[in-house]
Structure 1
Amino acid sequence: MTYLTTRSKLRLELAHAYDQAVREKRLARYQRLFHLSQVIPRYWIPGEEPSRERLLEICEEFHDWYFDDDAGGLFLTPRAMDVYMRLQTALATAGRGNAVATGPDQNSGASMSPDESQKIRDLADALRHQLAQDVGTSSPPRLKLTRLDPAPPPPHGL
């Protein structure tokens, strides 16, 4: 019986240590991706929307984060991966614009459409929310800290 209890406890401790190590590595990589996403705010000031060329640069920056030496993409959860990939696709598609129909150099100065802008901003927002959810910063602490009440006064007459 002691053997089974010890073995079970060791397995739990190893799983916890592994989860803790992955969480620490994920946090560092997620912080960097969160910082990269600042170039796609919830809204752009009219007239300050990025060019299609800039969208391709942003797409490349996200790609570099995914595959760089820290292997950021390796630590994405399935939900974060889904949103990340949809954002990358939206950036690449909007960045290229209608390049197939007009030729690669014909569309580089064209502004993105309001629908393209909204889609990219919504996906960036969803990615930031998912990153926060994955590392637990969007939820209240699981351990409820209780505040100790002051000690009751001593009985009368003491």
Structure 2
Amino acid sequence: MPILALAACHGRNDAGNAVPGDRDDHQPWGEIAVAERIRVTGTEPYWNAEVRDGLITYRTPERPAGDQATVTRFAGRGGVSFSGTLGGHEFTLAIGPGPCSDGMSDRHYPYNALLKIGGEVRKGCGWSDRRPAKEVMGNGATRSATQSAAESGIVETYGAMGTGEPDPASPTP
């Protein structure tokens, strides 16, 4: 799966046999608009990021305020990716369509995410302003998770996404 996600954004197959969708359609994937905010979260190890306005804010438990970097966006046929340099390491965050579960909550996300930072690859799930995560209720029904990162659970212990300030309703890390 991780290789496929990156291949969808950056891959090259000279024969065109493994290219997703209609091989004659050369339009980039447009499900996530250029100006749209994208959020991703991953576990083992825990990390989260927000991409908006040409910047990524990347957080880990060790760096709850996060690190910020400028990103270059690439829209391929099977997804979108963002790349740049973060903390002295090159990174690529690839996001593609498909149901995703973080394995730790009852949330279901519309996108799969793959982060390659330095030599490390991390899997995650993503959502955007137009395609929020869905929370599965006890009866199997779903509801949209709120747009607020703190309320949607991405930063319960690290503060509200984008503010760097602790969430007073969350336990201290």
TM over 0.5: no
Higher helix share: 1
Higher strand share: 2
Bigger Cα Rg: 1
Relative contact order, higher structure (CA 8 A, sep 6+)? 1
